[in-house]
Amino acid sequence: MPLTFYKKPALVAYVTCGDPDLAITREIVLAAIDAGADVVELGVPFSDPVADGPVIQRASERALKHGTSLAQVLTLAAEVRQKAQSTGLIIFSYLNPILRMGMEKFCKVARAAGVDGALVTDLPVEEAGEYRSAMKEYDLAPVFLAAPTSPDERLCRIAEASRGFVYAVSRTGVTGQRQQLAEDARKLVKRLRRVTKLPIALGFGISTAAQFAEVGEFADAVVVGSAIVEMVERNRGREAAAVGEFIRGLTAVSPQLSVTVL
Amino acid sequence: MAALEELERAYEKARRDKKFQARLDELLKTYAGRPTPLFFARRLTEKLGGAKIYLKREDLLHTGAHKINNCLGQGLLVERMGKHRVIAETGAGQHGVATATVCALLGFECVVYMGTEDMRRQELNVFRIRLLGAEVRGVSSGSCTLKDAINEAMRDWVTNVRTTHYLLGSVLGAHPYPTMVRDFHRVIGREARAQILRVEGKLPTAIIACVGGGSNSIGIFYDFLNDKKVQLIGVEAGGRGEALGDHAARFRGGSPGVLQGTYSYVLQDSGGQIALTHSVSAGLDYPSIGPEHAALRDSGRAEYVPASDAEALEATTLLARTEGIIPALESAHAVAEVIKRAPRMKKSEIVIVNVSGRGDKDVGILRENLKLD
């Protein structure tokens, strides 16, 4: 059960695959796991990342310049799985590359690669029937995004459709770092707790050790994305080392308790 | 999703509300200048020597294009939803101008996203938007055109969704946009149908309109859908060639995919990345097409053909010199198709061409390309 959070708060680390290239992404992912990431989201670069802020947009552009594809990301996942058996691996993608590959084929290849689940940013739960059955058939966990503006009945639908964990979006808007954690975040997690027993990971805008600790007080896991991608951008030539150090720094001040998994 | 549901509810309620419709009709009449004339293009008809050509003159509307129909409709909805900030994307700038105009009229704060490439080639409209009191935000990602402007508008919307309405300018995006925007443009076809029956006593053989996202074309097509004998012809941007990246003809090189919340035909590569597009006309320069057009094409009810940059430029000159009408470069694509088609038709047949906008905004591009100085 790699999609299990063994620590509280657990760390979900996002990387844009292919930035600066796939070989370095592999090193970055392994360094992140070594530094304590419980789950890694392998981001598939997309030409029109409407849910992302400038940092991930730039990383996606760099990755696409040399043609990084969903198929290559799945190959990368298989390589990572060889090295890391107990870390959760999630494919984080926009819908179109998956549609182009074919939903069924995507699930089949992902399963064979040892992937645990997927998060499709621009596929709302209301339109996800076909996706959910394909994911189920291949025993993959679909993770859906819950937003602060989602009404309770929608939170229910999202929780029911999600496996592994529910991804709570800390605020309205796109990915990217913020000085302060929005008040929205705490409220959303509280509302989700009422409708689900699944662990809740909170993401969007979290980049500091203080924020990590703060989120750890009320969520089960913290998703860190843009801050990691920015480390990659700023540390040419020593990307993996920089990401490893960053993650250690992030989790250093907060006591990550071991969780007994029944 | 919550904002889309709120919009859908507000729209469904407004649609059935006589007061809303009456206020919209009044503004369309006294502010926008509806109904627009259906004009018999005598000299163009004689020159081409075939079918009788009528022009639906959306170019005569306030702000210079059909876009105002939808902006007034959504503007009144914004009032009802109690929001005070409006954002929009624009390609050629016509939708940006129409949105800024309606925001000035109704007193909303307005931000228009526009690709930097489009800002360069549609400079005049950038100034008009600013003159109307709206802010223009340049978008320099991707191809720096309409698609990228929509991406940025969507990012703004998800961030400020509680106070902001996204006034989407075409029959694109997530539900209810394609339906709602179509409904606000249906007036074009409703008028044209009544007008042609009044003047000619019969329906036309064909209707021709250009298709970017597809708002003017679906607007003029819609009330003719049940007149099975009326051919509906959409004209896409054939650009400068057939290779991916050189045109915006989704039905020639596209395949089913999802872009910006719409499942339709999309120009894309083998890995599902959205392709860059090219067209001399900023308003047609977009890699996807309204989903209802995809359905009309698949069912065979409508037909879609490309017209190249060169053909559109030629059509502009011809219409200017035979009828004294300078069409927008977008609309010139529809004119280019009638130039090919009318000579092959009988003199007893009738064609209606939707002149969706006027060409004033394009004088810079026309000057560069036509070398008349």
- Strand duo B255-259 + B262-266: pairing: antiparallel
* A contacts of B161 (beta carbons < 8 Å): 149, 172
What is the helix (H) or strand (E) element at residue B307, kind and residue range?
strand B302-308
Q: Which H, E and C letters describe B79-145, residue by residue? A: HHHCCCEEEEEECCCHHHHHHHHHHHHHCCEEEEEEEHHHHHHCHHHHHHHHHCCCEEEEECCCCCC
Which residues, at least 6 apart from A157, have a Cβ–Cβ distance to it below 8 Å?
A125, A126
ipTM above 0.85, yes or no: yes
Q: What's the pLDDT at B225?
A: 98
Each residue's pLDDT tens digit, A68-93:
999 999 999 999 999 999 999 999 99
The whole model's pTM is what? Answer: 0.94
- What the block records as the tokens of A242 is 């920089």
Residues 6+ apart with CB under 8 A from B50: B341, B342, B343, B344, B345, B346, B347, B349
B258 touches chain A (CB under 8 A): yes
Which among A47, A51, A174 is the nearest to B273, CB-wise? Answer: A47
Residue A257's φ and ψ, nearest 5 degrees, are -80, 150
N residues, chain B: 373
Q: Is A160 on the interface with B (CB under 8 A)?
A: no
User: Encoding tokens for residue B274?
Assistant: 């959205």
pLDDT for res A262: 47
**DSSP summary character for residue B346:** -
- The distance of A243 to chain B (nearest Cα, Å) reads 26
Distances (CA, A) of B122 to A152, B57, B147, B304: 45, 22, 16, 26
Query: Tokens for A260?
Result: 């007994």
Q: What is the pLDDT of residue B142?
A: 82
- Cβ under 8 Å to A: B residues 272-291: 272-274
Closest CA of chain B from A46, distance in Å: 6
Task: Exactly one of A52, A214, A220, A230 is catalytic; name it.
Answer: A52
At residue A260, the pLDDT reads 60
Find the mean pLDDT for residues A128-132.
97
Q: Which of B67, B83, B147, B361 is catalytic?
A: B67
Confidence of residue A12 (pLDDT cuts 50, 70, 90): very high
**CB < 8 Å to A174, chain B:** 155, 158-159
Handedness of CA A243, A248, A249, A255 (dihedral sign): positive
pLDDT of A257 above 80: no
CB–CB of A97 and B271 under 8 A? yes
Nearest residue of B to residue A172 by CA position? B159
DSSP string of B232-284?
EEEEEEEET-SSTTS-B-HHHH-EEEEETTEEEEE-B-TTSPBPP---SSGGG
Going by their DSSP bridges, the two strands A117-120 and A141-142 should be labelled as: parallel
pLDDT of residue B287: 96
Structure tokens at B18: 């006589």
Q: Which of B159, B270, B271 sits opposite A173 (nearest CB)?
A: B159
Query: What is the CB neighbour count within 10 angstroms for residue B271?
Result: 20
Q: Mutating which of A16, A50, A95 best tests the B interface, going by the most B Cβ atoms within 10 A? A: A50
Which residues lie closer than 8 Å to A109 by C-beta, 6 or more apart?
A: A71, A74, A101
Inspect the interface and report whether the beta carbons of A96 and B151 lie closer than 8 Å: no
Is the Cβ–Cβ distance between A39 and A228 less than 8 Å?
A: no
Here the tokens at position A227 are 């801050």
pLDDT of residue B372: 84
The conformation of residue B212, written as its DSSP 8-state character, comes to: S
Percent of chain A at pLDDT above 90? Answer: 87
CA torsion, ordered A213, A218, A224, A225, to nearest 10 deg: -150
CB nearest to B258's CB, from A51, A53, A96? A96
Locus of tokens 């489009």: B118
B67 is catalytic: yes
Contacts of residue B2, defined as CB under 8 A and 6 or more positions apart, other chains included, come to: A147, A149, A150, A151, A154, B161
Query: Which chain A residues are Cβ-neighbours of B158 within 8 angstroms?
Result: 51, 172-174
Chain B CB within 8 Å of residue A147 CB: yes
Contact residues on chain B for A70, CB-CB shorter than 8 A? 271-272
pLDDT at A96: 98
Q: Which residues contact B137 (CB under 8 A, 6 or more apart)?
A: B111, B112, B113, B114, B152
Short-list B176, B195, B126, B178, CA closest to B354: B195
Annotated catalytic residue A116? no
- What are A134-158's pLDDT values in tens digits? 999 999 999 999 999 999 999 999 9
3-class SS at B350? strand
Residues of chain B with pLDDT under 50: none
B140 shares contact with chain A (CB less than 8 Å) = no
The active-site residue out of A19, A27, A34, A41 is A41
Contact with chain B for residue A61, Cβ under 8 A: yes
Chain segment A188-242, per-residue pLDDT in tens = 999 999 999 999 999 999 999 999 999 999 999 999 999 999 999 999 999 999 9
A49: which chain B residues are within 8 Å (Cβ-Cβ)?
A: 151
- Give per-residue burial for B313-336: e unless 16+ CB within 10 Å, then b: bbbbebbbebbebbbbbbbbbbbb
Compare B84 and A172 and report the one with higher pLDDT.
B84
The pLDDT of residue A256: 74
Contact A151 B2 (CB under 8 A): yes
Give mean pLDDT, residues A168-185: 85
At A202, which helix (H) or strand (E)?
strand A200-203
**CA atoms within 13 A of residue A84's CA, in its CB half-sphere:** 25
User: Which residues, at least 6 apart from B30, have a Cβ–Cβ distance to it below 8 Å?
Assistant: none
- The verdict on A191 touching B (C-beta cutoff 8 Å) is no
